[in-house]
Structure 1
Amino acid sequence: MKPLRLVFYTIFLIVLGGRFSLPPTLADDATIIVGGEGGAWHDLQAALDAAPEGALVEVHGGTYTGHIEISKPLTLRGVNWPVIDGLNQGSIISISAPDVTISGFVIRNSGSSLDEENAGIESEAPRTVIENNRFENILFGVYLREAHNSVIRANTFVGKEVDLPRRGDAIRVWSSHNTTIEGNRVSRGRDVVLWYSEHLLVRENIVEDGRYGLHFMYCDDADVSRNILRHNSVGAFLMYSRRLHLHHNRIESNRGPSGYGVGLKDMDDAIIEENIFADNRIGAFLDNSPREVDSTMRFAHNVFAYNDIGVAMLPSVKRNEFYANSFIENVQQVAIEGGSGGDLSGNTWQGNYWSDYAGFDANNDGIGDVPYRAQRLFENLTERKPETRILLYSPVMQAVEFAARVAPLVQPQPKFEDTQPRMQPSFPQGIPALPPPSPIPMLLLGVSLLSIAGGIMLVAMPRRKQTHLHIAQVGV
């Protein structure tokens, strides 16, 4: 009887095995293939759950739906750009384990809730590496929280097609020290936000068509280099941080309501050198920077070109050193913001190039023989009465400046003096050439002249008709 039961039990297991396939067994050093012709797995989440720590999970093409959770150290690698689709609900991938790497995926269609901070990838674990992925139609792109020693590299981010206030941050790094952000391209996001994180390395990124290209708060000892920040409302806003090094960046065409190439608020001991600030509303704006009484700020070998204002400072700002910068064809080279006038003599200006310098160099040593003084009358008027900026590029501006030159009694006191002005500009090495100046000033000038000419013609034409009519009546 027992042999017969054994036969029936064996037949039952064979039938059961034919109807239900068991998951593959895994070795400790497994490489798990998902999808494709040779893939043993077709459920991405199931493969991740079954993978041992340290495994390589390789996904070959196809489309998979989020939400995906990764709770152990492993590498998730895409081949032939597999898609992970969040179906416009929530976050797409969440990481809760250290030492996770994700590369080679298209990650698209996160949810749209700013309150829930829906993201393409969110991580709360150290040593997360996110590289060579494409983020499409996402609210937040990558969100790191206390994910120290992480890397965000060579990704592209394209945000949702919504108005700017409804967008999320393409990259947000919160309390994640020693994080590297490099080689990414960001468009149509809100900001790249870096908060409460020390020793950040931010380099070779392109950030465009957003609000703040970079937004720093409480990030000490950061190194920011070789980025391109363009067509944002503000190129970079740097706040409440110490010892930041901003160098070899190209910051251009940021013309939103603020329109700063770089804004600095309550910054201490920052070094800003060998950058190009071009075609912004204001190249650099300084508010209470430096903040501490024993701190200084250094601007050296930068180019401020074709901006409406090269550098703008509040009148209380002191202890900034401007050395060997080139101020090229800004409408206003340096401005005092705040409407209260004053001067900037509490800062050091030495050895800079000024395109409006009218001095001479008799001994040909490359240094002007008379100081450069910032004392244009129309600039003084616009600083005290900002509403007069509407007269920029108009004949009124030229008349005011001409009057100041021929009648020195009406010249204002200089805002500052550069005792060693350079005769030739210098340019940072390794940065692409300057863009051409914005056509907006010349367009405004052309429109103004056409308006004046049109007004004269409108006034003159009726008078000519009346004159002919009067002559005809007299002839009768």
Structure 2
Amino acid sequence: MLQKIIAFTIAISSLSLAGNVLQDAIDQAKPGSRLELPAGLYHGNIVINKPLIIDGKDQKAIIEGDGKGTVVTITSSGVTVKNLTIRHSGEEHEKVDAGISMKKTTQCHIENNKIVDCLFGIDMSEVSSSEINDNYIESKPFDLGIRGDGIRLWYSNDNHLSGNHLYKSRDFVVWYSHGNLIEKNRGEYGRYSLHFMYTGKNIVKDNVYKHNSVGIFFMYSQDTVATGNLIQNSLGTTGLGIGMKDASNFVLKDNTIIYCARGLFIDRSPYEPDTTNLIEGNRIIYNSEGIHFHSLSLHNTFVNNIFKGNIENVMNDSYNTRITENEFDGNYWDDYEGFDKNGDGIGDGPYNYYAYADKVWLLNPNIKFFYGSPVISILNFLAKLAPFSEPVLLLSDKHPKMHEGQV
């Protein structure tokens, strides 16, 4: 908590761009002061090196950079920046030109700011125990691959990031950062809605990600929970809802993945010996592929999930690797063809998913174009009636649910 709050009001007009009045006020303010900025235009590329509160009240106070470097740099702990419009950073990726840059700080608050025309939105390097809440972030109008990240964590632990809206940025990326709570954020028209690298013990919940290339991707990470998230319309050749690569001891629970090219993408996960990943209570619906297994992926547990409306519920692109060592139990499969004679809501026989010879279309995009055509429909029928070759059992669910409402 800031112990000393001093109201410091600055009357300023657009002519202030001739000199950096805001930086002068910051330099003159005592630690713990409160700077309330009336509506107006303020010269950016400022540095906050002491505990201060800077409050724009209603986002009508605009801090504008000169198109080079970072607009607001924070190097002190105990800083609050809120209710501002921050815009017009530089364009250099190697310098991480950003709207707000935080370096080696703790207990900072970045709240309810509008950050636009900034290459990177909020860059956090060695930041801990801070609140990053309710900010709107939009990158520069560049092609997707050369935009900056909306939010970037680097060796930053135990932070709370909530209610932020990333629009047409590149990624929300978390590197070497642990113990963060990431909740109720929204990401649209980006690349990676949320991307983890070498992280652990993070919580990801109740986020909404639409129209991005990738929803959530966990790489080389462990001990994380993702629950209650909605991932929608991750399309294109790289489109997927939630991906795990070399990810161990994860819990994916109560998420909805809908209208994606691939719902779940699992690559060599879990990775650490004697660990499992729990995938429970998720709705994986109306995707091209429900689950895509890539490389050696064993010891995942799938319980009480709904697989509905997917073109293919399961895809395994490593035919010399069986996925039967993953556990499936109590899931709802919309293509289950069994009966429930005793009416307990559980299929009398297991749900067995086979790969027939006609599944060659899954690996050949030229053939995939004809999926749903009469020719492929006839092949599907003949493959079940009289298989061309011995079918391969991909998975077996011993207690399939008869109705999706049971899950």
Q: What TM-score do the two structures reach when normalised by structure 1?
A: 0.80
Query: Matches of 1:344 and 1:117 in 2, distance apart?
Result: 42
Give the structure 2 partner of residue 35 of structure 1.
Answer: 11
Query: Matches of 2:158 and 2:344 in 1, distance apart?
Result: 45
Query: Matches of 1:312 and 1:245 in 2, distance apart?
Result: 20
Q: Structure 1 residue 258: deviation in Å?
A: 1.1
Q: Structure 1 residue 42: deviation in Å?
A: 8.9
Q: Structure 1 residue 235: deviation in Å?
A: 0.7
Query: Matches of 2:406 and 2:251 in 1, distance apart?
Result: 17
Give the structure 2 partner of residue 88 of structure 1.
Answer: 67
Query: Matches of 1:107 and 1:385 in 2, distance apart?
Result: 48
Query: Matches of 2:161 and 2:119 in 1, distance apart?
Result: 19
- The residue type equivalent to 1:52 in the other structure is K
Q: Is the CA contact (8 Å cut-off) linking 1:378 and 1:400 kept in structure 2?
A: no
Unaligned runs of 5+ in 2: 14-18
1:350-361 to 2 correspondence within 5 Å? 350-361=329-340
Give the structure 1 partner of residue 221 of structure 2.
Answer: 241
Query: Matches of 2:92 and 2:349 in 1, distance apart?
Result: 60
Q: What are the Cα deviations for residues 412-433 of structure 1, in whole angstroms up to 9, with x where unaligned?
A: 12211111100111499xxxxx
CA RMSD of aligned residues (A): 2.0
Q: What are the Cα deviations for residues 75-96 of structure 1, in whole angstroms up to 9, with x where unaligned?
A: 1111242000113221101111
Query: Matches of 1:110 and 1:212 in 2, distance apart?
Result: 22
Query: Matches of 1:257 and 1:219 in 2, distance apart?
Result: 26
Give the structure 2 partner of residue 413 of structure 1.
Answer: 392
Q: Structure 1 residue 383: deviation in Å?
A: 4.7
Q: Is the CA contact (8 Å cut-off) linking 1:301 and 1:426 kept in structure 2?
A: no
Give the structure 1 partner of residue 16 of structure 2.
Answer: none
Query: Matches of 1:152 and 1:146 in 2, distance apart?
Result: 14
Query: Matches of 1:356 and 1:413 in 2, distance apart?
Result: 17
Q: Structure 1 residue 410: deviation in Å?
A: 4.1
Q: Structure 1 residue 31: deviation in Å?
A: 1.3
1:53 aligns with 2:31: yes
Query: Matches of 1:383 and 1:341 in 2, distance apart?
Result: 16
Q: Structure 1 residue 255: deviation in Å?
A: 0.7
Change (3 A) 1:316 1:386: farther
Q: Structure 1 residue 389: deviation in Å?
A: 2.0
Give the structure 1 partner of residue 192 of structure 2.
Answer: 212
Give the structure 1 partner of residue 304 of structure 2.
Answer: 324
Query: Matches of 2:382 and 2:390 in 1, distance apart?
Result: 9
Query: Matches of 1:221 and 1:70 in 2, distance apart?
Result: 31
1:74 aligns with 2:52: yes
Q: What TM-score do the two structures reach when normalised by structure 2?
A: 0.94
Change (3 A) 1:110 1:379: farther
Query: Matches of 2:5 and 2:260 in 1, distance apart?
Result: 54
1:29-428 to 2 correspondence within 5 Å? 29-35=5-11, 43-80=21-58, 81-124=60-103, 125-338=105-318, 340=319, 342-377=321-356, 380-383=359-362, 385=364, 387-408=366-387, 410=389, 412-426=391-405
- The residue type equivalent to 1:48 in the other structure is I
**Which structure is higher in strand share?**
2
Change (3 A) 1:384 1:254: closer
Query: Matches of 1:331 and 1:226 in 2, distance apart?
Result: 27
- Structure 1 counterpart SS, 2:359: helix
Determine what percentage of the aligned residue pairs are the same residue.
35
Change (3 A) 1:342 1:242: closer
